[in-house]
Amino acid sequence: MAEAEFGQAVHRWRDRVSPEAAGLTIGGHRRAPGLRREELAMLAGISADYVTRLEQGRAANPSTQVVESLARALRLSATEREHLFRLAGLVPPGADTVPAYLSASVQRLLDRLAGTPVAVYDASWTLLTANPPYAALMGDPSDWRGNARNGVWRHFLGPGTRARHTPESLRLFESALVSDLRAAAGRYPADRRLRRLVAELRAGSERFAELWDSGTVGRHEAARKTIDHPQVGAVTLDCDVLTVAGSDLRIMIYTAEPGTEDAERLALLTVLGTQTLVG
């Protein structure tokens, strides 16, 4: 019964969200105004088969991460999000865990930046959502799972990013990442996922362990970054990180100076990337 109620709620809310509202480009005739299962799966970063099994009540015990991702993709209110967690048999995350909720106001901000590469991270630098231009610029994150969605893990233990670094910019970037993560661990000491992430980083990366144990201090500043894109080549952009007061979210925005070759390359890769993402 619980699985059926969870699936019915997901299906009902999926029908309510239009592709345009979710930032998707659509074409051709659609039988229903809401999201398709494949579209919800892409937005939530899970497989379409799993969405189908959830809606049909054939998948039990979805994880906290899955429920949180579905709540964001479905644009649920705080009350609806809490209800979805309880339908999944989970306790909604409290004040002692890293916030991962995108408020309606933050979502509206993202909607108005639909043509600009934007990604939203939580306080531990785990990617919550990225729009199509960001995916086109930095690589499609829809298949990233678990720690692969965390920017600190990807830098120290994973494949890294497409951004270039000088020795000095790398030092500052790493100091800022570790400092942010230490601050998050201090604010959310009961967050088990965050504790596991820090333990894995300390065990797997000598550089991270050195910075963590030394108490390094750093902070993210507005910066010029060069992105090595596989299709259009090097693109130099301004990168700004905005912090949302009260929710501890980080909004990363890439922009190009109008009228420059970098602006032209950004526009081109965004079109190419969007076509690739939506098939």
Taking 60 as the threshold, does the pLDDT of residue 279 lie above it?
no
Q: What six digits make up the tokens of 66?
A: 């899955």
pLDDT at 199: 97
Task: Compute the average pLDDT of residues 150-167.
Answer: 95
pLDDT at 127: 94
DSSP state of 158: S
Contact 118, 252 (CB under 8 A): yes
List the domains of the chain with CATH numbers: 2-87 (1.10.260.40), 104-278 (3.30.450.180)
Taking 70 as the threshold, does the pLDDT of residue 274 lie above it?
no
Task: Compute the average pLDDT of residues 138-162.
Answer: 91
Nearest C-alpha neighbor of 244 from the set 107, 141, 135, 80: 107
Q: Alpha-carbon distance 227 to 224, whole Å?
A: 10
**Beta strands 223-229; 233-244: pairing state:** antiparallel
Q: What integer best gives the mean pLDDT of the chain?
A: 89
pLDDT at 276: 46
Task: Compute the average pLDDT of residues 122-132.
Answer: 92
pLDDT at 22: 75
Task: Compute the average pLDDT of residues 5-27.
Answer: 85
pLDDT digits (tens, 9 = 90+) for 32-73: 778 999 989 988 888 899 999 999 999 888 998 899 989 999
pLDDT digits (tens, 9 = 90+) for 84-116: 999 999 988 887 899 998 888 898 888 889 889
pLDDT at 178: 95
The phi, psi pair for 112, rounded to 5°, reads -80, -10
The phi, psi pair for 260, rounded to 5°, reads -100, 165
Q: Alpha-carbon distance 227 to 244, whole Å?
A: 25
pLDDT at 87: 93
pLDDT at 277: 38
pLDDT digits (tens, 9 = 90+) for 238-256: 999 999 988 899 999 999 9
pLDDT digits (tens, 9 = 90+) for 23-32: 776 666 677 7
pLDDT at 60: 84
Rg of the chain in Å (alpha carbons):
19
Q: Which helix (H) or strand (E) holds 242?
A: strand 233-244
Taking 70 as the threshold, does the pLDDT of residue 134 lie above it?
yes
Kindly give, in sequence order, each residue whose CB lies less than 8 Å from that of residue 161, ignoring residues fewer than 6 positions away. 138, 139, 151, 154, 155
